[in-house]
Chain A
Amino acid sequence: MYRYDEFDATFVAERVKQFRGQVERRLAGELGEDEFRPLRLQNGLYLQLHAYMLRIAVPYGVLSSKQLRKLAFIARRYDKGFGHFTTRQNIQFNWPELVDVPDILDHLASVEMHAIQTSGNCIRNVTADHFAGVAPDEIEDPRVWAEIIRQWSTLHPEFAFLPRKFKIAVTGASHDRAAVKFHDIGLKMVKNEAGEIGFEVIVGGGMGRTPAIGPTIRGFLPKQHLLSYLEAVLRVYNLLGRRDNLYKARIKILVAATGTQEFARLVEEEWARIKDGALTLPAEEVARIERYFQPPAYEKLPAISTELETAKRGDATFARWLKANTHAHKVDGYSIVTISLKPEGGAPGDASADQMDLIADLADEYSFKELRVTHHQNLVLPNVRKQDLYALWQRLAAVRLANPNVGFLTDIIACPGLDYCNLANARSIPIAQRLSRRFNDFQRLEEIGELRLNISGCINACGHHHAGNIGILGVDKQGEEFYQITLGGSSKDDSSIGKIIGPAFAIDQVADAVENIVNVYLEKRTGQDERFLETFRRVGIDPFKEKVYGNSQARRPAAE
């Protein structure tokens, strides 16, 4: 993984010192909250319902065991003993005191971490495929490019006050695991006819109030021009993006209003002026970054592990976990393991300090000291020998971290919701908890198969409800929490935005509604290999509507 050199270390130390000064000025009353706000936000510090919330960047989801242990330490010392992994591969702490935040940032700097640009109207922490570097379907490692973007965007002087926040995601694989079409800029590594590798550039996707699947504005961008092209997109957006209305300020609105073709023309026009200048990436610089992402010292192992085959036959519980939570690795004899942070009755993405320490130990023992954070709010051990899987599973099972539900209905994405967030209209966590209890039968989950269920506590869609096969959106109706359900969303290669099924549900009706939806799917599917999404696309929304509202069980909200 990337390691700071003396320059990066100096920079982060300077940033902490600067923020310490800003906090001192705030505490001394020299800075008003209005002036302090953008400063703290660009260091990931939000003022939430009950306290400050600190969002720490996990660049493109890559984490070392040493870093995870430091996060556990911060959780214990400055928080209430846990942290929350987010849909942008970051981690949030919900209870820090303002006066402690500079110290927390110092601790983070000691393990080459920071909270820079995890908030604010700037280029946010870049995300990437959580299986980067280990996936068998990869064309090229996206971490190299995510790191190059991270450095370029860090304290970019021109783009610190954009019309709105700006999110970039990169994938280097043929299957999209980074939801690139739902980002302000999505970069997908592709091969052109000449066999060269470059980027397909997708601009103007997003969730929020106006969900949009981003259109491609350039089919192939040579790699050395990545930064000049990004700079051109950002400049066009900075100048032309709307600033009169918060809800219309994202680049997706500009792209839609300008038209994809005209927007692309504006970008190309700006790019032509700067493309061969100082932003051109020399091959040595790319090679320098690539060296940080060299594969670890893999052993030469047979593709099939006899130990694993024996364990699998002897232990059905293990076999179930193996099927759901491990994934094919590009190197023979290795597996990718997802550790589900979605236990029955838990808050999706939460991990306690003890769990973090234990998972860090497991990464040391079994996965070359490295981990990943997924945008599904789980953790990944990317490099586990197949022969070690049974032992690893036993260690996880002993602390209830072996939930075999990855990719299933209870692998729920959820934002913190009204329990923490001051933007939320409704709580998300209790819905996730109820559903995880209702569907806590793993045999049944397997029977239902792949089903993505996402929950957002408000229209800002941090819980990606638009992209859920089943999406749940919390709304406030005259002071009461209601939940709107959408069907048919997806953030994979077959991206789509969910459709609203009908009037919203009261909190105690949501689990029944989901149960009905699942039953319609089971009844209508052609077989177990037809996924929920495929059945939905084939039969449409009506059968689901009829079942869910047929007996008019749903209380209609007073004002729709």
Chain B
Amino acid sequence: MAILKHGALQPNDWLTVADDAALPEGKPAVVSLDRWLKERDTLIGRNTPIGVKLKSDQSPVALKEDLERLALIVLEFPKFTDGRGYSHARTLRQRLGYKGELRASGQVLRDQYLFMDRCGIDSIEIADEAKVDGYLESLGEFSIWYQPAADRRPTVRALRAAKRTEPSGGSAVVRESVAASWAY
């Protein structure tokens, strides 16, 4: 399974470890939320990057106190029609202030990628590497955004406000109103 992150395919450095398997020595590992909650202290003491994978019915609020210790959180999309992960992503980014990598795994289709990106997911697992161009293309399909989300795209309200004050305000006004539209 390849990882698409920041516009390019990347090898997956992370090993997803089953609950009953031993953790690999010196390698970044992803564990389930259950295991994290059970073995938290041991896992923190391990001194190697650690990540947690959440099922779509598990709230990321359970990780509230641990976010700075986690280098990766994986959100599972068991079916593309299960949209809970989008709310989990925004909760992590905008409410809890999670700064690490946020990855989507499971059924992640091309036409969901843009929504994920807007909600703050910054890497996805792709089943078919040959389709990577389509995924990247999908991020460029729109230039107008009607609502603030967890990304830094300017909302249409910011663009309209900037247009109203031009030309006197110029790009400083754009920057200012764009910044205001991020303050969710």
Residues of A within 8 A of B (CB): 5, 7-8, 10-11, 14-15, 17-18, 21-22, 35, 38-39, 121, 151-163, 227, 235, 238-239, 243, 273-274, 277-279, 285, 288
Do A162 and B160 form a contact, CB below 8 Å, given A11-B142, A151-B146?
Answer: no
Write 23 A-B pairs (CB below 8 A) sorted by A numbering. A7-B144, A10-B144, A11-B142, A35-B80, A121-B83, A151-B156, A154-B147, A157-B86, A157-B147, A157-B149, A158-B86, A161-B86, A162-B83, A238-B86, A239-B59, A243-B82, A273-B95, A274-B184, A277-B183, A277-B184, A278-B181, A278-B183, A285-B157
Interface residues of B in 73-120 (CB under 8 A from A): 80-84, 86-88, 90, 95, 109, 111-112, 114-116, 118-119
B41 within 8 A of A: no
By beta carbon, the residue of chain B nearest A121 is B81
Q: Are A152 and B146 in contact (CB under 8 A)?
A: yes
Residues A161 and B81 in contact, CB atoms below 8 Å apart: yes
Q: CA–CA, A158 to B80, complex, Å? A: 13
In the complex, are the beta carbons of A17 and B141 less than 8 A apart?
yes
CB distance from B136 to the nearest CB of A (A): 14
In the complex, the chain A residue whose C-beta lies closest to that of B149 is A157
B80 and A38 contact, CB distance less than 8 A: yes
**A278-B184 in contact (CB<8A):** yes
B144 and A11 contact, CB distance less than 8 A: yes
Contact B156 A238 (CB under 8 A): no
Bound complex: CA A39 to CA B80 (Å): 11
Return B25 CB to nearest CB of chain A, in Å: 37
Task: Please determine whether A35 and B83 come into contact, CB atoms closer than 8 angstroms.
Answer: no
| Size bracket of the B interface | 35 or more
CB atoms of B147 and A14 under 8 A apart? no
**Nearest chain A CB to B149 CB, angstrom units:** 5
What residues of A have a CB within 8 angstroms of the CB of B81 in the complex? 38, 121, 161
Cβ of A5 and Cβ of B118 under 8 Å apart?
Answer: no
Q: Is the CB of A161 within 8 A of B82?
A: yes
- The answer for the CA separation of A55 and B181 in the assembled complex, in Å, is 33
Closest-CB distance, B68 to chain A (whole angstroms) = 20
What is the CB-to-nearest-CB distance from A22 to chain B, in angstroms, rounded to a whole number? 7
B51 within 8 A of A: no
Majority SS at the chain A contact face: helix
| Inter-chain contact total with CB atoms closer than 8 Å | 103
B95 neighbours in A (Cβ, 8 Å):
273
Q: Are B148 and A159 in touch, CB under 8 angstroms?
A: no
- Choose one: A5, A18, A154; the contact of B146 (CB below 8 Å): A154
Q: Which residues of B contact A39 (CB under 8 A)?
A: 111
Which of A156, A158, A161, A273 has the most chain B CB atoms closer than 10 A to its own CB? A158
Chain A residues with Cβ under 8 A from B116's Cβ? 157
The complex places the Cα of A273 from the Cα of B159 at a distance, in Å, of 26
Query: Pick the contact of B115 from A11, A157, A279 — CB < 8 Å?
Result: A157
List A contacts of B183 (CB < 8 A): 277-278
Bound complex: CA of A18 vs CA of B148, how far in Å? Answer: 21
Closest B residue, CB atoms, query A5: B160
New A-B contacts (9) at CB < 8 Å, excluding given A227-B147, A243-B82, A288-B160: A7-B160, A11-B142, A18-B141, A38-B81, A151-B146, A152-B146, A155-B146, A158-B90, A279-B148
User: Contacts of B148 on A, CB cut-off 8 Å?
Assistant: 277-279
For residue B114, which residues in chain A have a CB less than 8 angstroms away from its CB? Answer: 157
- Return chain A residues, CB-CB under 8 Å to B168: none
User: Do A152 and B144 touch (CB < 8 A)?
Assistant: no
Once the chains bind, are A7 and B111 in contact (CB under 8 Å)?
Answer: no
Pick from B82, B84, B147, B160: contact of A156, CB under 8 Å = B147
List the A side residues contacting B112 at CB < 8 Å: 161
Minimal beta-carbon separation of A272 from chain B (angstroms): 11
Q: How far is the CA of A285 from the CA of B164 in the complex (A)?
A: 12
In contact, B156 and A7 (Cβ under 8 angstroms): yes
Asked whether, in the complex, the Cβ of A14 is within 8 Å of the Cβ of B142, the reply is: yes
